[in-house]
Amino acid sequence: MRTPSKAMPTVREVHQARWNEPVVMEMGVPGRRGAVYSAPEAVVEKAVGKAADLVPAAMRRKNRPALPEMTEPDVLRHYLHLSQMVHGMMGVNLFGTCTMKYNPRISTHLTLRPELATLHPYQPEETLQGLLEIVHSFDLILRELSGMDQFVFQAAGGAGAAYTHACITRGYFQARGELAQRNEIISTIQTHPCNQATAATAGFNVITLPLEENGYPSIEALQGALSNRTAALMVNNPDDMGVYNPQIKDWVKLVKKAGALAFYDHANFNGVMSKIRARELGFDACMFMLHKTFGGPKGGGGPAVGAYGCSAELAPFLPKPIVRLDDKTGRYRLDADRKLSVGKVREYFGNLQVVFYAYAWARAMGGDGITEASDLAVLANNYMEKKLLAIPGVVKSQPQMTMHRMEMTRYGLGPLKEETGIGIVEVGARMTDYGVDSPWLSHEPWVVPEPFTPEPGELWSKEDIDYWIAALAKVCEEARTNPDLVRTAPHNAAIHAINGARLDDPAWWATTWRAYKRKQAPAARAGGKAASSR
């Protein structure tokens, strides 16, 4: 059994495998197959017809899919190799504002069970009773945590939930005949940009409030922005820096007084789980990230859920269908007959497998467990803050703010960059050489230079957090003693430093094989010819 040590842990260099294989799309050999089956016996075919005819004509492919032709071992070997060339998201990753949590394997198995995996959303609702019960039960859990009156799970992420709110705001004021007048939504510069973006997408003019010297926007700025044109306030609290607005209750009062709606982007809920309830603060609506705070898997662009909850006044405008429990029969039904509904913000019911993860997490934790998780997250962050600020070159955002940050703090490596020329990108790349996932690069680098926001949450042990801090401290030291070593990192990864110059160039990026062939293959071929001619 390991005994926690007070000394700084030894940082270990790791080394990833490097298989140097082409992408799978280039590995096929014509004629190779995973498995080959014999033709059906005549008697079987006579009884059930041709296998191809079992698929309706409209659903049949006209052309074979352009997949590489490979044997099953080829495929398995290739993906095993790929898995050896990453940290596998099992390292100490403190991706801030993401609230990384371990996803118990039992939850994964639950979501893969045929009772869920083989369901179709268009099945008769009588055959979906178990699924609907879980959705309804989880709705009740979130109502308890927020004070809201109804939750829906259609939005496929936080931005989707913010968009849901913008649409509901539109529907609400349209129903009141005020939409032409109330066409402005107020947000703050440190609120996640999806709020401003979705408000604009829904057709609203957006007013953004800047930070004042005390680290959060002033109530005077809010008063200056509020008018009879205001439709809603959309804010994070804490904001992206981990800063809570101490005047938030007064803010909401002012917004309500102006006749507008108040929306709480609860993406950073971990520090206040079971401590505050959005409705009791006066908010009309809020959203939770099930793929963050509630233990659903996050990362890799996988399915996500932004759970959106609102007051009874706004509930008629929620996306449809809504899951309802018929008290008389005890049966669940899908209520799609909702004239004021904003419609759908996502196909079918959204990503319900993530709701399953979240439900499993919440039931396993229980009310007391959720409270304890929140306490641990705050404790871990404040422990880490003290140790991180002892590393020369690391500074805290808005250092003049003396109140404790809760579950996360934004830091910057500005002083280290000034001293050594090494910034957070190079430091993060070097940290991977020590088995630590590169820190998530934070938003708003123009506010805090070289920003990073590690968020320990309740998951990681003291040893894990100490290791992460030790890795950062070691790399900062290397930046002074051997800057080239850091500048050229990673050295132990499967792929060394990449040229990111074209990462934001739509003419170059490619997220599909077809796009890659169209955009990059000609250049690669030209480069190859040039190289071979030398």
Residues that bind another protein (CB under 8 A): 189, 196, 200, 204-213, 218, 220-225, 418, 444, 446-447
Q: How far is the CB of 225 from another protein (least distance, A)?
A: 5
Closer to another protein at the Cβ: 266 or 417?
Answer: 417
Tokens 């080239």 belong to residue? 484
**DSSP type of residue 310:** E
Close Cβ partners of 336 (under 8 Å, ≥ 6 residues apart)? 320, 321
d(CA 406, CA 242): 7
Nearer to another protein, 34 or 224 (CB): 224
Report yes or no: 143 and 289 within 8 Å, Cβ to Cβ: no
| H or E element at residue 396 | strand 395-396
d(CA 452, CA 388): 12
d(CA 320, CA 163): 15
> Cα 267 from chain centroid?
9
Rounded CA gap, 24 and 74, in Å? 10
Judged by beta carbon, residue 184 or residue 464, the one nearer another protein is 184
How far apart CA 245 and CA 191 sit, in angstroms, is 11
Listed in order, strand segments (DSSP E) in 108-199 are: 150-152, 184-188
- The first and second tokens of residue 93, run together, are 């990753």
Q: Min. distance of Cβ 189 from another protein in angstroms?
A: 6
Q: How far is the CB of 179 from another protein (least distance, A)?
A: 15
Measured from the CB of residue 173, what is the shortest distance to another protein in angstroms? Answer: 17
- The CA-based diameter of the chain, rounded to the nearest angstrom, is 83
Q: Which two tokens stand for residue 178?
A: 């005020």
Smallest separation, CB 340 to another protein (Å): 26
Name the residue nearer to another protein (CB basis): 137 or 218: 218
Residue 222 or 310: the one with the smaller Cβ distance to another protein is 222
Q: How far is CA 212 from CA 287, 290, 297, 455, 513, in A?
A: 26, 32, 36, 25, 47
Let me know: does 405 contact 380? Beta carbons within 8 Å: no
Instruction: Give the CA dihedral 259, 265, 270, 276, nearest 10 degrees.
Output: 10
Which is nearer to another protein, 45 or 418 (by Cβ)? 418
Nearer to another protein, 146 or 196 (CB): 196
Q: Between 220 and 347, whose beta carbon lies closer to another protein?
A: 220
Report d(CA 233, CA 230) in Å as an integer. 8
Between residues 222 and 360, which has the closer beta carbon with respect to another protein?
A: 222
CA–CA gap between residue 192 and residue 174 (Å, rounded): 26
CB of 215 to another protein, least distance (A): 10
Q: How far is the CB of 30 from another protein (least distance, A)?
A: 46
Q: For residues 230 and 525, what is the distance between their CA atoms, to the nearest angstrom?
A: 55
Closest approach of another protein to the CB of residue 257, in Å: 18
Smallest gap from residue 258 Cβ to another protein (A): 14
Helix (H) or strand (E) holding 289: strand 285-289
* Residue placing its CB nearer to another protein in the complex, 202 or 286: 202
Min separation Cβ 487 and another protein, Å:
20
CB 290 within 8 A of CB 307: yes
CB closer to another protein, 89 vs 401: 401
CB of 190 to another protein, least distance (A): 10
